[in-house]
Chain A
């Protein structure tokens, strides 16, 4: 028996679909309820009530690590001001393209989310770190902020509540590592984007050494809906500790790539087949990457395709992550070595160079994969790669162990471990023969 096809559950993408031609304008936003929730929240005058609802909602960060948002907010030391909210819009994780859509197509939802969240944590100056390449997003977001200010939703004494809020949009300049929250803070302070050693955590000493919350664009865009629906109602969406909806950016060999908002708990198969129309030319799936380039891979097996989009389930069962919500699908014609090499080339390029295992290790991994891909591989190369990987994350057990300051180094080991776990024979055959016919896509 086959289940009926699933559809999207549109919470944070409702306005984008309702007003496809002008969802980003203040006019369209106001006629579709933007800032109503902010008004209500400020009218009740109870910042701790927001924290309580967000806690009840079970909202977990959408940037990659899935940390509970309310818990992060609760780490801010009492009585210590100023404190900052920094929204992470750097979106550089390969194949992730949801935050760009949220910023370009619904900036007012983000601004409302920033206002409510800032009110909740007692912040009067919030920053959005926006990826430098997002030229249109920057334009729309700065326009939205100006329009919101014009309507009294930002600035001094927001809606006569006594709450002041200023939002600064800060453009990055082309460095993936600046998506890592402490590198982002360094970059925002005018430094090279190199991660900081923790502790202290940003909640204690973040931007300008002040207490700081860093949250992803999608996380903050969800907050107005939690307050509108109520935390408990929001928590009814989703599954287990993966509550609510999430945006999944699906790309690669599917017929209808794009961003889809679904209730957590639907399966990969439903996402790929029902929403994305399956794989092009009716081919089978050889493998897919379930949560951005940093995640390990899954295959087109029933066991993997029928797994639910549940952050803890996929982590505990398969050692993969939903991460940034990017699902990359590769059909049976794809050479896994090619994909592994390209991802490791990316990590080698983006390593900030602060720690040796990552700076040196990612470069060597890339070079060895390159020779394997080009018919120069040696039979022992895969094990050599695993050995290099073991120096970056001992036991090859990311995210639980690392010799590096941040998880970028371990991320470069994910493709290697995936080759070993899923395609060992194929890779060994390619290297054993000593030469390969050439490179195919």
Chain B
């Protein structure tokens, strides 16, 4: 029986395993070092905040794996020896495979800052990160202040986490406004205000110079590059993005760029070795997507795709319309299609922006200037129906149409006040003015 080995029990590896099981009775083994069972990385924050315990973050009950004949092995893979079709584990044991799926995810970025490896300096990616966080920032007595470096999705989650334990947070963001490399200005500025409303000390347009140690080799302060200000702290969170966790593959003969290089079939340069999820790097970008897509949904979709290929139906990874979502403290964010930030705005793209007077809801719709085609939407504090936008994007609807029928796409709970008429009014007025 063919033996499929998957390294990494995250969403991509586990989805691949599940779908291979649905399609075949091949032997499947998942090897992973982080935890015994698959858990939801996206829920790490809720464990620290006390909303959930670790066991609640496991999407499948523990009996699931045996019942579906998916073997789990908790081990770290030191080396892939593709010529022998074997893996060398940390304890020296070897495992043979017929086909190998690399789904090893990401690691937190560190940009060579002085002091980045001190105690009390960490990223937020793995379960182990959560354990060290619990050690260095259990409460506001042990951790009198935390400094977070890097204003992305994980940085703001870490800020929210620490905030729930009453730990004062200074948030150093390199950009001139939160996440404005991705978000249009109106939205980014609303989130700035929301962060500050939570009493986070948000510093925009600043960089980390170095992290200072105390006599025990523990972080005691950070120095801001622009102002040379020294900010005393007991925890430094490095959240300046993630990158593929592929160092162990160096020299293995599997071609690496920033991640594991794959073609549209998710095949690497080595036969019978595939890569999916955060660690896979497309040789050429698919549409407007990045070559490395470090999000949950794409990991899942790659897992679904690779299962087909492995079970004899070789197909390309061919993602549909882009979508994503996140939450900034209390404000939910959803996006469908492409809305570029002001910094990256292509010539042809124009924006319609609407913001509610309570400053917690807004939306931006991107339109093609010449054709009036609807390109994408960002919503904050308003839930939207994925299916509807997916159809509108596929059908190449115009923005006029989308705004007119916006109510069809609303996904807020029943009895919520709706804003479509306000949006329509604002849209019509600006069209007339323009």
Q: Bound pair: A and B?
A: no
